[in-house]
Amino acid sequence: MNNRRQTIRDFTAESNLFLRRCLFAVLLCFTLILVVLNNLYSLQVEQFEDYQIRADGNRIKVIPVAPNRGIIYDRNGTIIAENRPVFNLEVSLEQVEDLDTLLDELQQLLELTPSDIARFERNRKRQRRFHPVTLIANMDEDMMALFSAQQHRFDGVAVEASLARYYPYGSALTHVLGYVSKINARDLNLIASWGAQSNYAASKNIGKQGVERYYEERLHGKVGYAQLEVDSKGRTLRILEQTPPQPGEDLILNIDIELQLYVQSLLADKKGSVVVSDPSDGGILAMYSSPSYDPNLFVNGISQKDYSKLIENNDRPLLNRAVQGQYPPASLIKPHLALLGLESQKITDTTHIQDKGYYQLEDVEHVWRDWLKRGHGKVDVQRSIVVSCDTFFYELAYKLGIDTIHEYMAQFGFGEHTNIDLLEESDGNLPSRGWKRARFNQPWYIGDTISVGIGQGYWTATPVQLVDSINTIINYGVKNRPKLLKASILDDLVITEPLNTAEPIRVLQKKNWDMVQQAMFDTVNTPQGTAFKAFSNSSYASAGKTGTAQLFSVGQDEDVDDLIIADYLKDNAMYLGYAPAKDPKLSVIVALENAGGGGSNAAPISRNVMDYWLGETH
């Protein structure tokens, strides 16, 4: 009972407190309304005339004008990416009286399909008012002639010229140049992160891949502005003032388009990549990844059908194998390992082994086989490279240990970007104890080291890393790393690009480097060498190393020759070489997927490239 009275008394008190608070809230709202009203009074009554003038001033519209994108040339000045005028048929809706009739008549005249009309309707909904709507993008000449003759019949319809990116060599340079395409939401974030929103105010396209993406900011140029006087309906009356846009920089690449086209022809119907570089400066003369695709498809927006075709292709044309393909480097890195052995004095030029065709650790049953079943007999470091003896390198790797190997091969750039001017580049993998712990949570086993000795196991590298590493050997540790851009043109001045340099590898004894180079020379120029056949009767002396990467492990008791191996598990054929052996003009990596042996499949392609580059045409 008592309790109940308490509640009732509370209720009255509560009600009063609530009422007081309500009144206070009303007071607060009232004050805030007065603040808003005071502000509006100052805008609408006190400053009315100012704002009225500014509203009239708004009849003058400032519109951004897109800059022309920089042109890209090859090393000889051939245009490889340009801007072509395209002609669009555009409809200014506010000038059209009867749109349906107009569309009917145009449809008859130009034989428009229902899907053209549907696209127009979509564009119309998206377009801002008083902006013309595109009816036909990229008209051909016939259509333009047809329309021009009848133009007087169509008020508010006009042919507008604009520039569109075009890649004259199509699929030959896709993985070098990349492409530009429509700016999407992700690109807008990117542009915002550069703080370049206003610079892209009028731009429709942006570089998405390759050189177009990497040098986007230099190719794009600077936006211009035009002040337009518009009438009360927003139509342009005249241009009052213009700040012209500044076109983007023109770029000159190290690429030689003739060589590039030749390389493309060599890789037709093959899956793989070729990178050709100039060892003197690391410039990329050619870089082709096969299969490729036509980048022009992307410029005006790729159709869903074409895109699915690219995505669903099992040979993965979108992959840039030259910088994204991660392969076991296999025997290609035997020269590097031999060099490490010599420089670290784990072996000397006279160290030799008796190769019986396999390698075995004491007290371990596992057998590591040489590719030659009967073995190579007595092999020293020189011969181990020439005949590509696996057993020698199993033992060398064992002597060196993974830590030493990792430390030295990292100096060659394995496991890291080469910093080539492409954002798509992969790192490959240079294994180490720490890596294996982090990746598999497992300790490093001796057996892991043995496989690394022949560039197998956990080791993967990209073709561009491999060609970079051979350049380092050629240059006695000096590193001029791969680079596509040779120079740029600003105000008619050709400005040479700085090279892509890196910390050199220290040379302990020059003769060790000479010896490795000599071994690669002998690989090509002595009858026992693995590349001898491919280069017989060539007019120059080259050097190189073959590689055959196993993608399939053969059981301990099985014989490779007895097995039928599926296509995608067949060996990768590789060749890494340079020519001429003295004062090299080019270095070449050929990496072919599932193509078999390196000496017989990859080396001949490398020879073709060298013949071409050193031949009469150059």
Site for another protein, rule CB under 8 A: 10-11, 14-15, 17-19, 21-22, 25-26, 29, 32-33, 35-37, 39-41, 43-45, 47-48, 50-52, 54-55, 58-59, 62, 128-130, 189, 192, 197-198, 201, 230, 232, 234
Q: Which of 181, 292, 331, 432 is catalytic?
A: 331
Q: Which is nearer to another protein, 12 or 350 (CB)?
A: 12
- Dihedral sign, Cα of residue 329, residue 330, residue 335, residue 338: positive
The token duo for 546 is: 């073959």
Dist. CA 385–CA 393, nearest whole Å: 9
* CB 99 to another protein: min, Å: 16
Neighbours of 225 (CB within 10 A): 17
Contact 218, 249 (CB under 8 A): yes
Question: Of 37 and 149, which CB lies nearer to another protein in the complex structure?
Answer: 37
From residue 525, give the alpha-carbon distance in Å to each of 31, 536, 580: 96, 8, 12
Q: Which two tokens mark 47?
A: 């400053």
Identity of the residue, 226 or 502, whose beta carbon is nearer to another protein in the bound complex:
226
Q: What is the DSSP letter of 91?
A: E
Least distance in angstroms from the C-beta of 61 to another protein:
8
CA 514 to chain centre: 35
Q: What distance in Å separates the CA atoms of residue 324 and residue 210, rounded to the nearest whole number?
A: 12
Q: Which residue, 50 or 559, is less far from another protein as judged by CB?
A: 50
Coil, helix or strand at residue 327: strand
DSSP state at residue 460: B
Record the tokens describing residue 492, joined without a space. Answer: 């008619």
Q: Active site includes 331?
A: yes
Compare residues 10 and 315 and give the one whose CB is closer to another protein.
Answer: 10
Whichever of 189 and 441 has its CB closer to another protein, that residue is 189
443, burial (CB in 10 Å: exposed 0-12, middle 13-18, buried 19+): exposed
Task: Identify which of residues 18 and 476 has a Cβ nearer to another protein in the complex.
Answer: 18
441 CB contacts (<8 Å, ≥6 apart)?
none
- Minimum CB separation from another protein for residue 43, in Å? 4
Question: Rounded to the nearest 5 degrees, what angle is found at the Cα of 539, between the Cα atoms of 536 and 544?
Answer: 60
DSSP state of 504: P
Nearest C-alpha neighbor of 431 from the set 408, 460, 454: 460
φ/ψ (deg, to 5) at 456: -115, -155
DSSP-assigned letters across all residues of 464-502? HHHHHHHHHHHTTT-EEE-BSEEEEEETTEEEEPPPEEE
Where are the extended beta strands (E) located within 259-327? Answer: 272-278, 283-290
Q: State the minimum distance, in angstroms, from the CB of residue 122 to another protein.
A: 15
Toward another protein, which CB reaches closer, 42 or 303?
42
Q: How far is the CB of 414 from another protein (least distance, A)?
A: 38
């030799």: which residue's tokens?
352
And the tokens for 466? 């491999």
Cα atoms in the 13 Å half-sphere on the side-chain side of 120 = 24
Q: How far apart are CA 179 and CA 320, in angstroms?
A: 13
**Residue 20 or 439 with smaller CB distance to another protein:** 20
514 burial via Cβ count (<10 Å: 0-12, 13-18, 19+) = exposed
Give CA–CA dist 509/612, Å, rounded. Answer: 35
Residue 45 or 268 with smaller CB distance to another protein: 45
- Residue of 155, 157, 149 lying closest to 133 (CA atoms): 157
The answer to whether 464 and 419 are in contact (CB under 8 A) is: no
Q: Which residues are catalytic?
A: 331
